[in-house]
Structure 1
Amino acid sequence: MKRFLKWAGVALIAITVPAAALAVWNREEIARLLAVNSLFDADRIVSNFSEMEELFLTRDMPLGEAPVLPLLEGPPLTPPDGYETWVQDRAVTSIVVLDQGQIVLEDYLLGTEPTDRRISWSVAKSYLSVLTGILLAEGAIDSIDDPVTNYVPELAGTAYDQATLRDLLTMSSGVVFDEDYLDPNSDINRMGRVLALGQSMDGFTSGLTESERAPGIRWNYVSIDTHVIGMVLRGATGREIPDLLAEKVLAPIGLEETPAYITDGHGVAFVLGGLLMTTRDYARFGRIIAQDGAGILPADWIKASTTPQANTMPGARQYGYQWWVPADAREGEAFAHGIYGQYIYIDRSRDIVIAMSAADRQFRWSNVQPGNIEMFRRISDTLMERR
């Protein structure tokens, strides 16, 4: 018998499942396997992205009695020309625009609701970056130039044996990792099978043994580097990422709804793409970043992590510590980005934040991301014109 999984947006992955194995799987495992098969289908992608806790193993992150960061209503923004067409073309499902902390534009489309906990995809990487900066400031991590194996000795002898935490933060580990979503045998799709079937992400990572170059030489975006950051943080503290993130980042900010993480079958958070939060709460995080941490998060780390740090190609978009920076960045401009059109765009010099979710099945087009950044800038310019 064969079942098929789709992972990271576009790949069909054949998994041969013997009938005898199916007999011992419990009902939840079988249901999850079948549900993931249609995760990115055109008629289901929007609802699936709001209901990931029904498709994967997840863990809520209760925030206790933390006060909610208020988002007051500001003067409504008339969007710039082309906004409605852009929303339709990019399958935008929600957008929240903050001008100096006030909501001036908020839309929920394609049947989504304000209370939906939307999947972050790689926007989650920027959250893990902030947590890294906090643990560094607290002394749990001595230096980002420490070898990974100082904190995760089980990675000795793997492709990460010589890598430092800085190499991971800048996606410069040198590990051989195929992130081709269209190849069913690529590493990213093998990783997807591990997660979907409730197996061990740590075990998968420890099996990566090949390097294409020495660490620190050249940027190459491989999502598994972010998982290793999570392994380092767990090794440094002896605690799980959901607990750390909730205590040190999310509760101090003050969120409206309880967030969650997708996990593997061992309870390890899918830190490279598995946050579930409302769009308003994504915007709250962006607001604190736009304020250089607002006295809550470390300002020096935010500045460093949203500044180009990686050795990227000339003229291409740039990379800090798990944050993106446009190739032609304005002062204070950075963004978190996930596949299918998930964004937290920050114009720090203007104190403008745009949080957006989408179900954009054309996200791989080379002109999509530049077009999105251009729309964010047009919204920012429109706000500045009316101040």
Structure 2
Amino acid sequence: MEENSMMGTASEQLGISVRNWQEPGNLAWSFLHMDELFPSAVIRAGGAAASSAGPSGVGPGARRLKELTVTLPDGSVDTVAGVLAGTNTDAWLVMHSREVLAEEYFGGMDAGTRHLLMSVSKSVVSSVVGVLVGQGKIDTARPVEHYIPELVGSGYQGATVRDLLDMRSGIRFSEEYLDPSSEVRQLDEAVGWAPARGGAATLKEFLPTLELAREHGGHFEYRSCETDVLGWLCEAASGRPFAELASEVLWLRLGARHDAFITVDSSGTGMFDGGICATLGDMALFGAMIRDGGVSLGGERLLDTAWVDDIFAGGPDSAEAFAAGKESEGMPGGRYRSQFWFLSDDPDTAYCLGIHGQMVYINRRTGVVGVKFSSTALPVDPVAGPAAAAMFEAISAALGPATKP
């Protein structure tokens, strides 16, 4: 594992540190320089050889796309350009089938800049799990302590791998980002994203302390800790550090052009639920692989077709489990499967979502993949997030199904 130094010169000059990197005025810089703020491990790409596949440049239809009308959830009307301007966009991309129609960067970004994915990382981790399932190294029906003995006697004992993939364990965990005492902020302290206040010093010390609140396998409840256990599971089942594993089974085979990286805690464990940083184009390649049933644009199969089809089809009670949770209030008909979101009852449109406006939009019906990196001030912006989803939906509807090559 390769790690960098704890603080970089640029961050010191700007006065940005572990204490204030998540303040609204610092986010646009922090999200592009996480490896200067925190130790990190490289998820290697294929280098120059990978550049023959995947998105490049700005397609001729970009201006037309930006003029499209977008009907927002509140009934008001805007344009794609207006949504982009009003939602703290750092970069965005639209791919239709294999063609990139728009690719645009703002602020300090360019095509080689790695941006923090936040919880879009969850879908990447899930895909590594999917590879290991296909290799027979993980059985989703087994309890997680079968692979991670450290969780015997913890709140996670008895939770299956599938429970974690679908965020249906019975663990007590508050995801209230603006509450400094919430478990999600305690998790930040454990992984080094916030100053320590006497709690667990590493991720693997923190996770076994979480308590059981209800039976495993119940309704959906969004909790970042589930993905952190999944990342640990990947390492336990494979015997490999996550960054090394993700490079071998995902990033190299995807045809990614640029190395990604993941921030790590003081013991070298990855911040699995939100710490992956990658380029805009490489995340478009990831979205296209999911859209195309687990096959990269270069023609290599990464995930079994059945794994990807199951994401879109959902489990036998995925819709009911989602409807029973509080997130359904803003997403009627939605569901959650294998760390991917479905914001409505549309079975062909999946989302990878992260706080502060990170999004990968995947529409199997039209062949559209959209990626948006942002730095909104609020972790969950009730206006910006739905506006970005509506923007990609409008683009997808306007483009329609692509002709398969």
TM norm. shorter chain > 0.5: yes
Aligned equivalents of 1:61, 1:386: Cα separation in 2: 32
C-alpha deviation, 1:205, in angstroms: 0.6
Q: 316, 324, 342: which one pairs with 2:358? A: 342
Give, as a single letter, the amino acid of the residue that structure 2 aligns with 1:87.
L
Aligned equivalents of 1:252, 1:188: Cα separation in 2: 33
Q: Tell me, which stretches of 5 or more residues in structure 1 are unaligned?
A: 1-25
How many aligned residue pairs are there? 358
Aligned equivalents of 1:182, 1:95: Cα separation in 2: 27
SS of aligned partner of 2:361: strand
In the alignment, structure 1 residue 323 sits paired with structure 2 residue 340: yes
Deviations 1:305-332 (A, max 9, x none): 2333431126253101100012232x42
**Aligned pairs for 1:2-21 within 5 A:** none
Aligned equivalents of 1:70, 1:301: Cα separation in 2: 23
Maintained 8 Å contact 2:86/2:384:
no
Q: Tell me, which stretches of 5 or more residues in structure 2 are unaligned?
A: 70-78, 296-300
C-alpha deviation, 1:226, in angstroms: 0.6
C-alpha deviation, 1:154, in angstroms: 0.9
Q: 24, 27, 30: which one pairs with 1:48? A: 30
Deviations 1:160-211 (A, max 9, x none): 0111101100101110111111211111111111112593101111121x21
Give, as a single letter, the amino acid of the residue that structure 1 aligns with 2:314.
P
SS of aligned partner of 1:46: helix
1:223 aligned residue:
224
Q: 90, 99, 109: which one pairs with 2:87? A: 90
SS of aligned partner of 1:50: coil
1:4 aligned residue:
none
CA RMSD of the aligned region, Å?
A: 2.3
Maintained 8 Å contact 2:44/2:251:
no
C-alpha deviation, 1:363, in angstroms: 4.9
2:322 aligned residue:
312
The normalised TM-score by structure 2 is: 0.83
Greater Cα offset, 354-363 or 257-266: 354-363
2:105 aligned residue:
108
SS of aligned partner of 1:225: helix
Q: 379, 392, 397: which one pairs with 1:381? A: 397
1:241 aligned residue:
242
C-alpha deviation, 1:367, in angstroms: 4.1
The normalised TM-score by structure 1 is: 0.87
In the alignment, structure 1 residue 76 sits paired with structure 2 residue 61: yes
C-alpha deviation, 1:385, in angstroms: 8.9
In the alignment, structure 1 residue 200 sits paired with structure 2 residue 191: no
C-alpha deviation, 1:28, in angstroms: 4.9
C-alpha deviation, 1:335, in angstroms: 0.9
Maintained 8 Å contact 2:46/2:255:
no
Maintained 8 Å contact 2:367/2:402:
no
1:163 aligned residue:
159
Maintained 8 Å contact 2:368/2:396:
yes
C-alpha deviation, 1:129, in angstroms: 1.2
In the alignment, structure 1 residue 260 sits paired with structure 2 residue 261: yes
2:74 aligned residue:
none
1:357 aligned residue:
373
